[in-house]
Amino acid sequence: MHEASLARAMLSTVMDSLDERSLRGQDVVSITVRIGELAQIDPESLEFAFSFAAAETELEGCKLIFTTAVAELLCVSCQRLNTYDIEHLYRCVYCGGPCDLISGKEFDVISLELAGSTVT
Ligand SMILES: [Zn+2]
């Protein structure tokens, strides 16, 4: 279950970004996380792992909000942009050529909501 290590990484990312802005100690209401559709991260497991990792820290009880990043592929042959779909997988819909994945495996903390303000 790699969600446990992701949760710990998330926790330290959030703490670092609070430190950078001298906001440590502020009440964090929610964290918005972007997950690529091919990242193979289960939001429910992540939420559970996070609540465990955040227990007895200042982020205890803070809510996670998930957004999905669409997977996109760039065709090596015709250079056209493809949206990932289960039927074509890594093949270009236009020419059938092979594609490189350019997004869809993201795992980013994109914003924090503090009591009273939002930090991006
Ligand atoms: Zn193509």
Q: How far is the CA of 38 from the centre of ligand 1 (A)?
A: 21
The parent domain of residue 8 ranges over 3-70+104-119
Q: At what angle do helices 3-20 and 43-54 cross, to 10 degrees?
A: 60
Distance 103 CA to ligand 1 centre (A): 17
CA-wise closest residue to 43 among 64, 57, 29: 64
How close is the Cα of 60 to the center of ligand 1, in Å? 47
Residue 53 has pLDDT above 60, yes or no: yes
The answer to whether position 94 is within a domain reads no
Please check whether residue 113 is in contact with residue 32, taking contact to mean a CB–CB distance below 8 angstroms: yes
> Ligand 1 centroid to 106 CA: how many Å?
24
**For the residues 54-61, what does the mean pLDDT come to?**
93
- Domain assignment present for residue 17? The answer is yes
Ligand 1: centre distance to CA 84 (Å): 13
Query: What six digits make up the tokens of 26?
Result: 């502020």
Query: How does DSSP classify residue 18?
Result: H
pLDDT of amino acid 25:
84
In this structure, is residue 90 part of a structural domain?
no
Q: For residue 10, what pLDDT band results from cuts at 50, 70 and 90? A: very high
**Count of domains forming the chain:** 1
Please report the pLDDT score of residue 1 as a whole number. Answer: 55
* Residue 24: predicted pLDDT: 87
**CATH code of the domain in which 54 resides:** 3.30.2320.50
